A and B are shown apart, each in its own frame.
Chain A
Amino acid sequence: AQSVTQPDIHITVSEGASLELRCNYSYGATPYLFWYVQSPGQGLQLLLKYFSGDTLVQGIKGFEAEFKRSQSSFNLRKPSVHWSDAAEYFCAVGGPTDSWGKLQFGAGTQVVVTP
């Protein structure tokens, strides 16, 4: 069965410091992988996605993620965090063995940015 694990429930980072959010997945075929961000009271916004090809994916707002098949991971990174990056971040997996539009989300990582 497909699943997503985000090991860190909560991360605190200083503004200007680097950020890495971990994501591990389980999927029976080549996965489609996504990172979404959710600000309070808002829906989810797509940061980046991986379908195939280059394993380092660039997204919006200066985020990038690296797909590592051997580790079943898709970690999200940002070199320098801004106060506006404080939000909840969700990793998700989907793919051709599931219904189109069906994504399995992790439980999320809450990011707090301190001055």
Chain B
Amino acid sequence: ETGVTQSPTHLIKTRGQQVTLRCSSQSGHNTVSWYQQALGQGPQFIFQYYREEENGRGNFPPRFSGLQFPNYSSELNVNALELDDSALYLCASSLGQNSGANVLTFGAGSRLTVL
């Protein structure tokens, strides 16, 4: 069983740039959620994708956007990067749109540093 894989593992950007982070979900999972984890804090929910549509969003501005592809992989895009966007971005996959959707399998994350 293949777990959740994320790329890149680390990246450095400058303020105002744009970034794309990628995620391959665990085999058999059809739902992807993205979380932001700032240093010393717990993860914060950004949004979830199911059947290629955004299906729930946390308190993040529109410059945070995403995609889900037919193979259930996903991208997180952040435009106009700000210093506060520096964080570990975690992708999590799960199955369905019921209680099972909350049983999240996390990837190791993409560490973004904005200078």
| Tally of contact residues, B, Cβ under 8 A | 31
A107–B41 touching, CB < 8 Å: yes
Query: Looking across the interface, which residue of chain B has its beta carbon closest to that of A32?
Result: B102
Query: Looking across the interface, which residue of chain B has its beta carbon closest to that of A45?
Result: B106
Q: If A90-B42, A108-B42 touch, does A101 touch B106 (CB 8 Å cutoff)?
A: no
Top 10 A-B residue pairs of the complex, sorted by shortest distance between their CB atoms: A99-B56, A105-B42, A100-B101, A43-B106, A101-B48, A101-B33, A44-B106, A43-B108, A94-B102, A102-B45
Q: List 11 A-B contacts (CB under 8 A).
A: A36-B106, A41-B108, A44-B43, A96-B99, A99-B55, A101-B33, A101-B50, A101-B56, A105-B42, A105-B43, A107-B41
* A interface residues with partner B (beta carbon < 8 Å): 4, 32, 34, 36, 41-46, 49, 51, 90, 92, 94-96, 98-108
10 new A-B contacts, CB < 8 A, other than A34-B102, A102-B102, are: A32-B99, A32-B102, A42-B108, A42-B109, A46-B105, A94-B102, A98-B56, A101-B45, A101-B104, A104-B45
